[in-house]
A and B are shown apart, each in its own frame.
Chain A
């Protein structure tokens, strides 16, 4: 279903190019991840503040960190959105005005919200903030989108249950910016309509306390004439509501032709290695498609690259139709990633070919490692001698954040990353 959309493309020098490029929106759980996401090619990042955001377990930003993040992002021409997408309780009302004013003052571009309390409070006290409707509202049809447009919202994030054809209809009927998920973990429930955590662990899922009960195992029974009959046999994997992670890399061309305004990667809890890998791959896909949509093909190395940081299986979910059982996970809910983050490049000396690297996981001479980053093509090499900062030879880089030096076969740049196979 790749319909060429002439509203987003133009013929330049006899070749069609996409002139309305979608925003690539990346998660950033802390300041370091924000900088990595922006450096690796995100057009915008979304972050959580200390309050009103849905990841109570993420590091989350102080107002000062938000300010620093905005300054960093703006140097790259990138935007910062802050999630404030809890369903607030009465007790969350005091302090909201000050918090929203502080976000506006810190230079944040917009907030992602679900609760009308926060929408209207932001309009009143921090009118410069764009207001985007969170996926927590489970927005599934064009008329509901129309409602929120009439409420003055700049953008809506669609429910994860909305497919490509439905996005096309929404885009046709309502003139509003659309943000849609392209990659990352999925709620298997309609977002905002799940309170499993509240019932099972007394943690409020709609205020950031979600404990992912949908990824636990349950036994399915049927009550029949007072008897409990198991609906599984010995050796069967137990029942689960566990959805595979979303991965729409092959659908990016369709997303772009649909005119989706912002392509969103989920994962504020994910590592900088994950953020860097996923952002850099989607950056390449979007840029390649927009530059020459009519001759574009997905490169299998991009698909493989995404696999290197995946700890769960992936599926297209609702994008192409109704998800069958292959979109769900039974028995095992996660696995080790095939690769692990080993080091962050701090510098490179072109004279000697020696790189300075901050250790992020154990490595030693003889290990084969892979380097990647926005300025370089991926390359692998075997590590030879490793030295510490003072030039002493080491048998291994064994300490977290330890700074070490070793020879590399191609030039590197700060923020390039080194990974190794598990």
Chain B
């Protein structure tokens, strides 16, 4: 049976070898000037080195250009696209149609993955971006398993699904942490403090803790738990979903490597020996649970949840 690609997020060039060893098929990297919520910050020099390292190990490298761009960056997109084509990146991940037009002009053979985090919610939209030039659609995280399978059944593009890690719930252009410090009168601390790590919002009513951070792209708020469906991959593997993503944001490199190993095992079992997968999947889930830091629990996200409106 065809195996879905296992796509992971390295924290550094050195991490890529470790992830290859752990069984990853592809990595997504980039820098926050162009990409959103990356696990590591990769300069151009790093991207070139990462592509070499990954290709040596037979892995694909996708580079994130999925930021929401304002006029001030439009003119430099072409240069970055040309650079990525030059160093041999395997695909560009985009949300903004400005990137799509730039790729058409600058590197028409570059593969494109359409990824807006929240708006890939039906199969028609996936195929629409496919007709515009995308080879792959990255599905919204707020879809349940049935909707994902239905999209795959109708899709004319590759379908990527996030199976593990934190999900973005909210992105604002505003400087919300900085503004809060300013409001409190802590003006001197703002610049130093607002980019620090480990901040979270506590929601008393739900007893949830939502990680929050600021960067060049604004303020981001993340899900309170890591989604994890290592024990529920069967239907998606059978349906031929093309890529499973582990998003390692907010986690240490070692955690990402260990989780990658577990999903490698899960995917291989699922495709090669389904019965054994069914027998061992609880153990795999327990192994992930054992890796979780004390403040991050796991759940099944929206895969088995009913959403109303």
Q: Which residues of A contact B (CB under 8 A)?
A: 56, 87-93, 114-117, 120, 138, 140-144, 146-148, 159, 161-162, 166, 169-170, 188-190, 192-196, 198-200, 202-204, 206-209, 214, 216, 218-224, 226, 231-233, 236-237, 239, 241, 243, 318, 322-325, 327-328, 330
Contacts and interface: CB of A to CB of B under 8 A. Distances in A.
B105 to A, nearest CB: 10
A196 B147 contact: no
Nearest to A170: B71
Contacts of A88: 121-122, 124-125
Contact of B179 (A117, A159, A207, A325): A325
Contacts of A220: 177, 180, 199-202, 212
B123 interface: yes
A192 B181 CA distance: 27
B68 A190 contact: yes
B147 A89 contact: yes
Contacts, number: 212
Given A90-B147, A90-B151, A203-B309, A325 B119 contact: no
Contacts of B100: 147
Q: Max chain B CB contacts within 10 Å: which of A169, A196, A223, A233?
A: A223
B124 A93 contact: yes
Contact of B307 (A90, A138, A198, A328): A198
Interface stretch (B11-19, B168-176, B235-243, B258-266): B168-176
B171 A194 contact: yes
B125 A117 contact: yes
B96 A193 contact: no
Q: Which of B73, B122, B154, B167 neighbours the largest number of chain A CB atoms within 10 Å of its CB? A: B122
Contact of B180 (A56, A322, A330): A330
Interface of B: 68-71, 73-74, 77, 96-98, 100-102, 116-119, 121-125, 128-129, 140-143, 147, 150-151, 154, 167-184, 196, 198-204, 206, 208-210, 212, 218-219, 221, 223-224, 294-295, 302, 305-309
16 contacts: A89-B147, A90-B151, A115-B122, A117-B122, A120-B128, A140-B69, A143-B98, A144-B96, A147-B100, A166-B70, A166-B71, A193-B116, A194-B169, A198-B169, A221-B201, A325-B183
Contact of A241 (B71, B141, B172): B172
